[in-house]
Amino acid sequence: MEQQGETMQSLSEANDQLMAKNHALAKALTRATKELAKAKAQLNQLAGPPLTFATMVRVHAANTDEQGVQHASAEVISGARRMIVPVAASVPASRLEAGRTVLLNENMVIVSQHDTDTLGAVRAVKQVFDDGRLLVTDSGGNATLVRRAGILAKESINTGDRVGVDSSIRLALTLIPAEDDAELVLEETPDVTFDDIGGLDEQIERIRDAVQMPFLHRELFERYDLKPPKGVLLYGPPGNGKTLIAKAVANALAEGCGAGSGVFLSVKGPELLNKFVGESERLIRMIFKRARERAADGRPVIVFIDEMDSLLRTRGSGVSSDVETTIVPQFLSELDGVESLDNVMVIGASNRIDMIDPAVLRPGRLDVKIRVDRPKARQAGQIIRHYLTDDLPLTPGIEAKALTSVLVADIYAISEHRHLCDVCDEHGQWSPVYLADVVSGAVLKNVVDRAKTKAVKISIESAEPAAIGVDLLAKAVQEEFEETRDAILDADPVQWSRINGFDAGHVTRIRPAAQ
């Protein structure tokens, strides 16, 4: 019995070992089956014919036989080919939608449908027809008639919108969001006042008469049958306060207008120039439309266009393409439209009045032209006093007024230590150029800021507030002098004389001052 029990135990152990081996073999077989199926799938994928992309246009025909099998065909576009192809029974024909991407197998049968393609050419909508079709144009103005994709069937599309089209340019697939034009037009009420501007009393009085008075005394203008000017041009060398004056006008109108706060629309002239045909004109229309909307409730609106010469240059003067031949007429049509509107005033600023189209400057458009010239010594003192004040840490015993006098005398000195260079005009006549000849309000502010910066650095190093005195101001003037001299010597003589409005006329040569 004992021997029989040992035999049974050994058989049981052998059986367990066999079962374990059997389980291991079953697992290996399962893994092998999966690997084989995977390899077979990969082989089929590699050996299978390619699928073709196409754009769905419409279901051509669809019916179901007695056995419930679908028989359908559809019109598709693949590249430049327009085809009628069968629809696989596994693809519900009722769900095929115009504009969606479909896949065709090797037998040109639709086997699946995917989302609408979001890439492709962009066209501008020129006209919207009652039946939903769109007349679109490319950058060259060439027009094409297209249908809407299903996704656009209920979209509100207007003239001027942009749409993405398929490769055959037969279907409008997507509505392109409008460009962020808000960055081109800054709407604000500036915090600059006329008190913040020094040395421009005559110019401020003229622009107040031209701009502020018509808005604040409407009844008197009506009583005398006097129409306010439609536009004002501020011109002159850069850095002398043209933009500040425009902002101060907007601030004054906002403060003194009973109809509510005024609106200041600041337009970035160079950024309106767009390489796409018709885009700049659209932006101009958008600007004036916004001005009309803001002025509809009686609020004064200032449309300020900086660098006006870059946008409205003389027609026929374009370097690579005469875009001004369409931009200028569009601007003039909008400006002439302002005549029948109240509360809208256009203020332009330019360093190059000679480059602005004469039609823009004629009476009835930009009626008032105000030259903002370089400050003389007396005006320079008024400007500096805005930045060099008695509440600053000054040298003990010296007032800001005295420091200002010393600073102005240094900057406007007609002597060799402020002799920048010599320039030659078209007649061969050489003339000296001093710092006083090219100084601007921006330069004066920069000189004072240089001195303040030096005082801050000294204060950091010494851990005590440093005083602003004659020495720091003299060093600031010298640094400004050296930088200005280097910039002039590196500049193109003709362009420099035109931009800076130099009195010597057309400069042909510039030479360093004798050392």
The CA-CA-CA angle for residues 36, 41, 42, to 5°, reads: 100
Other C-beta atoms closer than 10 Å to the C-beta of 384 total: 27
Q: Tokens in use for 457?
A: 């650095």
Other C-beta atoms closer than 10 Å to the C-beta of 344 total: 24
Give CA–CA dist 302/291, Å, rounded.
8
On whether the CB atoms of residues 116 and 100 are closer than 8 A, the answer is yes
On whether the CB atoms of residues 510 and 422 are closer than 8 A, the answer is yes
224 Cβ neighbours under 8 A, 6+ residues apart: none
Give CA–CA dist 163/432, Å, rounded.
59
Residue 241 annotated as part of some ligand binding site:
yes
Closest CA to 149 of 84, 74, 96, 108: 96
Check residue 505 and give left, alpha or beta (phi > 0: left; psi -120 to 50: alpha).
left
Give CA–CA dist 474/184, Å, rounded.
41
Q: Tokens in use for 136?
A: 């679109």
Instruction: List own/partner pairs for 129-134 with CB under 8 A and 24 or more apart.
Output: 134/163, 134/172
Residue 242 annotated as part of some ligand binding site:
yes
Other C-beta atoms closer than 10 Å to the C-beta of 131 total: 7
Residue 444 annotated as part of some ligand binding site:
no
Residue 500 annotated as part of some ligand binding site:
no
On whether the CB atoms of residues 367 and 233 are closer than 8 A, the answer is no
Q: Tokens in use for 438?
A: 């090219």
Residue 240 annotated as part of some ligand binding site:
yes
C-alpha to C-alpha distances, 271 to 37, 98, 145, 267, nearest whole angstrom: 61, 38, 31, 9
What are the φ/ψ torsions at residue 502 (nearest 5 degrees)? -70, 140
On whether the CB atoms of residues 387 and 448 are closer than 8 A, the answer is yes
Give CA–CA dist 186/271, Å, rounded.
12
Edge-to-edge strands, sheet with 430-434 = 430-434, 419-425, 507-512
200 Cβ neighbours under 8 A, 6+ residues apart: 240, 241, 245, 372, 379
Residue in this structure with the two tokens 């291991």, named with its chain if needed:
24
C-alpha to C-alpha distances, 496 to 306, 312, 344, 423, 492, nearest whole angstrom: 19, 21, 35, 11, 6
Give CA–CA dist 312/269, Å, rounded.
9
On whether the CB atoms of residues 174 and 118 are closer than 8 A, the answer is yes
| Binding-site residues for ATP | 239-244
| Binding-site residues | 239-244
